[in-house]
Amino acid sequence: MKTLIAILALLALTAPAQRYRNLTRIGGGVGGGSSETREIKKQAAKTAENPIRKRMTAGAFKKQCVPQLISMYGIQEDGVLLRKKKFLSMGDSISTTETARPNRVRVIQSVGNGVCLASSKSIRDGSTFAVRLGQVVADDSECNLYLKDNGELFSYKTVLGAQKNVAFYDYVPVPPDAKEQQLVDAFVKGQNFEVILPCDYKCPTCNGRGTVPKKKGTFTIRKKCSTCKGTCKIQLPTLYIVAIK
């Protein structure tokens, strides 16, 4: 017995840290609009309050999750992942939406050193601001840009010689899509991810029995459920979060 305990203790010490992640269902079974899926939608809507948890290894994450995440995460110059899109769960459906949308910017004029005066309907109610582009852009041109307010003011002189201070923005380049191994490495280090995986729900037609009653003359017989084909359950894509708990 002592030898067995010693072996188990040695295995625990040599096991890789943070090998598993908790896989928690957070809602959103994707179903159609038919009456057969109404109960499933109700179940999916309740998953945030009553989550179902599983365990996931790095190998399973690579196989099941990485293919859908590659286009949703970018890799920045410093090697940090940036989420470009996220899943949007509405209880009975799941879609994707951009985490940040580019601004439609009109370049008014270049003031040198890669800085331009510009305006955008979506920024400061269309007021003029300065943006550091780092490249020459033709005056009075329009482009879609991701911008970040750097918290500074840019000072310049107007054509009449007046000094004016405006908000100063930096151009944020859209990072390229993250590669498979970069996502796996981030998973191993403990980064959280949202993923869509199949989930079993109780069949709403037969209420999980696998058969439904059918009248035949004066008798009532039970036949195989046409929705679940007798399996008692139906499978739908569902939103999960992979995280260390």
Q: Per-residue DSSP letters for 119-164?
A: EBTTBGGG--EEEE-SS---TT-EEEE-EEEEEEEEEEE-TTS-EE
CATH of 103-171, one of 2.60.120, 2.30.30, 1.10.3210, 2.40.50: 2.40.50
pLDDT on residue 6: 45
Task: Find where tokens 């780092």 sit.
Answer: 134
Closest CA to 18 of 82, 61, 69, 79: 61
Q: What's the pTM value of the predicted model, to 2 decimals?
A: 0.56
The pLDDT, as a whole number, for residue 12 is 35
> Which pLDDT does position 99 carry in this prediction?
66
CA-closest candidate to residue 202, choices 168, 219, 220, 225: 225
Q: What is the pLDDT of residue 49?
A: 47
pLDDT (tens place) for every residue of the chain, 245 residues total: 545 344 334 333 333 333 345 556 555 444 444 454 555 555 555 554 455 667 788 888 889 889 988 888 888 777 888 788 877 655 555 666 666 677 889 999 988 888 999 999 888 888 899 999 877 788 888 988 878 888 899 999 888 888 999 999 988 777 788 999 999 998 888 888 888 887 777 888 888 889 998 888 778 888 999 888 999 888 777 778 887 65
Give pLDDT, residue 202: 80
Which tokens go with 153? 């003011």
pLDDT value at residue 2:
47
Q: What is the DSSP letter of 178?
A: P
What's the pLDDT score for residue 149? 86
- At 224 the three-state DSSP class reads strand
DSSP string, 53-104: EEEEEHHHHHHHTHHHHGGGEEE-TTS-EEE-EEEEE-SS-EEEEESS--EE
- pLDDT, residue 26, reads 56
Q: Where are the domains of the chain?
A: 20-84+177-243, 103-171
